[in-house]
Each structure stands twice: as C-alpha cells, then as structure tokens.
Chains A and B, each alone.
Chain A
C-alpha cells in the first residue's frame, strides 16, 4: 500500500498502534492529554526508539537513512525551536515555497527571531518543514497559537499542499470542529491503541 503504514508500533511502553494513511489523505487524531499523541508522532518521525514497522510507500523506515526519513516524514512539533538570530538562517531556501500564502515575504527572512510572535513562529515553522517537500506531514496542534483568520489560511494551505503533492497528513487537534473540517477520517488514541470514530 502506498502512503504511510504503521504496523504494531510500540514506543515508550505504549501500543500497539497500527494505522494507514493513503497519499493525499488527511486523518485527524485526538486523545486525552497524556495519551501519548506527541510520543506517537515522535516515534513515526523516528526520533524515539520503537518496535514495530513504519513504511513509506512500502519502504520500511529502517531502509532509509534517518535524516532522509525525517525530511520525508516531517514532524511539526507543538512548539518550534529557533537557534539562529535571523529567521532566514533557518531556511536552506532563499525563496521558501508557500511563504506568500502564509503571509510572509522575502523581507521576513531578515526578521529577528526574538521579535516573532507565537503565531508567526507557528506559521514559519510550517513553512520551514515544507521546504523539504515532505511526503508525510505529522502536525501537532499546528494552529494552536493562531487567530481565526490564520487558522483558516493554514488549513487551506495544508489542504492545497496535500492535493498538489499527494502528501499524507496526520493532524493532531483538540478542536473537534477543526478535526471534522480537515480530516476525512478520525482517529482516537487510547491506552489500547488507535480507534476509528465518526466525526
């Protein structure tokens, strides 16, 4: 099966988790706080040790060099980190794609990171992972610090990216209405594993 497949994944003594996301599909993921949503995303991005298999277009993660895997299976953490003074130093691309739809221009690259608002950081972090042209997006509350207008902009942009590139998206959201808007299927994370439910 093409897309992202997870088979009997165990991480941090939780699991087994199994799920499949087809190319171009967006699946929402909910779960109580502490249910391990972020840990699951970290394991899929191969940032934490885990058992079980993760496949991208039928290729197991173990057969792809880890840095390469993370470029293709991109994790957008709830809180992004910035380690240089200027925004542009975090981008390998001088004209990052998807910069304009997110409300940024080339001058943004010279902005000081210390002056960014949390909403700007969140949108820039999204632009930053899209530079790698990932095949899978793992989004951990990607609109938590955004105002209503920007929430819709980001939702539309991710949907466009998905349709243009055939990327599979796993979207963690606390907001049931957002989950219903963006996802075609809805998953619930519990202690026993992953359960599908209707919106």
Chain B
C-alpha cells in the first residue's frame, strides 16, 4: 500500500482552494461553505482516525458502545437538520434517531454475529466502520423520506382533510403521500445497487482495492454491505414513516399540522 505524504494532501487541498477562488470570482456564494466543509473534513477525519487507533488498541465493549452512541446522536441531529418542517419538541429528534437505532443497530449486530462472525463480535475494526456505513445511508434515506412526507402533507393538507371528511382513516388519507415518501427514501440505495460496478466502483470496494485486497474479496464485502444497507434503510425508513404518519394526526384522525415547526430557510 502506498502511504500518502503531507505534500500529497496539500496538493489535493490546493484543488479545493482553487475551486473556492473560482466560486468567489463567479459570485456563487459557495466559497465560504466549501472552505468550512473542507476544514471540517480534515479535522473530523483526523480526530476519528485517532479515536479509531485508540479503540483498536483496547478492544472493549463499553468503548464501542460509547462511540456508537455518539455516531447515532450525530446522525439523529443530521436528520433533524435536513427537515424543512420538522416535528416540534422531542419528536423532531427522537423520530429519526429511534428509527435509525432500531434498524442500523439490529442489522449491524446481526451481521457481526452471523455473517462476518468476528471475535469478539464487537471487534471495533469491523463494528465501527460497518455501523458507520449503515447509519450514514439509513440517515440519508430517513431524512429524505421524512422531509418528503411532511412537506407534501403540508402542501396537500386540503386534500388530506377532504379525504378525512369523506370518512377516510388517517392511514388511508395519507397512504399515497407515504408511499411517495417511502420511494424517495429508498431510491438512492436502489440506484446505487443498480449502478454498482457499471457506472461507478462503490467507495468501500475502491478503498479495499487501493489498500491491496484481492478484487473478489473486496467485491464480496461490497455485496454484503449493499444488502445490509438496503435492508437497514428499508426498515429504518418504514419505521420513521410509520411514526411520522401517526404523529401527523391525533387519535380522532384529525390532521394536526400544528405539530410541525414552521419552514426553515
């Protein structure tokens, strides 16, 4: 494996700086965001690199559980931040976080104990990256689906209420919107699976090949990961949409958009 020197990374950083300068010249208003995001990448990844190094040196379930919890809370915050109209109060955070916890953690533990079968099952070298990939993808799916559900419900509130007036239950009144939201949450992973290998080489497989793994071993891991991600995203999105659809109504099947916060800019 060819190790990268500080000079190599500086060259790559130069490209980002050049792009930021171009954006500034063209008045795109992106240069600030680009530079901040780039700096965050460096700092966050260096930090996680150090954390992982320490974690791999002391294999301990408590430490793995601790870092998993931090990852989950960060993902939950991210889901909430991506909502145009999020649920007010504790639900705004709890809905996405709860759904991610149920799906990502269950699938990761299942994969670690049966398919990958590491020893111990919480071996951080496998547990942390696996959970990270699942959480990252489930997070995107849930964020997309919830946003779609709440913004569409807001736009189509007259139609939803018309259907309630005609005697529809809350689940009937929102069935199509929920189906659309489910579709938009699942589309990224379905597209990724359909295009895998043809349009692009998936990131994890690329990484393993760059690190010197035999291509077929890398492929097997990638297939496993994609299946885990699609199942995790599916269960996570389903759970989140189920919670959110119920929460949009009250027990008398009234549409309660007052449970959503106002739009964010």
A81 within 8 A of B: yes
- Once the chains are docked, how many angstroms separate the CA of A71 from the CA of B253? 13
- Once the chains are docked, how many angstroms separate the CA of A81 from the CA of B255? 16
Closest 6 CB pairs of A and B: A71-B167, A81-B162, A66-B253, A66-B252, A81-B159, A83-B159
- Minimum CB–CB distance from B168 to chain A (whole Å) comes to 6
| 0/1 interface trace, chain B 237-265, chain A, CB 8 Å (1 if under) | 00000000000001011110000000000
Known contacts A81-B159, A81-B162: A67-B254 contact under CB 8 Å: no
Partner-B contacts on A (CB < 8 A): 45-49, 66-68, 70-71, 74-75, 77, 79-81, 83, 128-129, 132
- Once the chains are docked, how many angstroms separate the CA of A74 from the CA of B168? 12
- Once the chains are docked, how many angstroms separate the CA of A66 from the CA of B176? 21
A47-B165, A70-B165 given; 16 more Cβ-contact pairs under 8 Å: A46-B254, A49-B254, A66-B164, A66-B253, A68-B167, A70-B164, A70-B166, A70-B167, A71-B166, A71-B167, A74-B166, A77-B162, A83-B156, A83-B176, A129-B166, A132-B167
Partner-A contacts on B (CB < 8 A): 156, 158-159, 161-169, 176, 250, 252-255
- Minimum CB–CB distance from A125 to chain B (whole Å) comes to 9
Known contacts A46-B254, A48-B254, A49-B250: A67-B159 contact under CB 8 Å: no
- Minimum CB–CB distance from A127 to chain B (whole Å) comes to 12
- Once the chains are docked, how many angstroms separate the CA of A129 from the CA of B255? 20
Q: Which of B158, B161, B162, B167 contacts A67 (CB 8 A)?
A: B167
Q: Are A132 and B166 in contact (CB under 8 A)?
A: yes
- Once the chains are docked, how many angstroms separate the CA of A129 from the CA of B165? 9
Q: Are A67 and B253 in contact (CB under 8 A)?
A: yes
Q: What B residues does A77 contact at CB under 8 A?
A: 162, 165
Quick one: closest A residue to B163, CB to CB?
A83
Q: Are B165 and A74 in contact (CB under 8 A)?
A: yes
Q: What B residues does A66 contact at CB under 8 A?
A: 164, 252-254
- Minimum CB–CB distance from B156 to chain A (whole Å) comes to 8
18 A/B residue pairs, CB under 8 Å, sorted by A: A47-B255, A48-B254, A49-B254, A66-B164, A66-B254, A67-B164, A67-B168, A74-B165, A74-B166, A75-B165, A77-B162, A79-B158, A80-B162, A83-B156, A83-B159, A128-B166, A129-B165, A132-B166
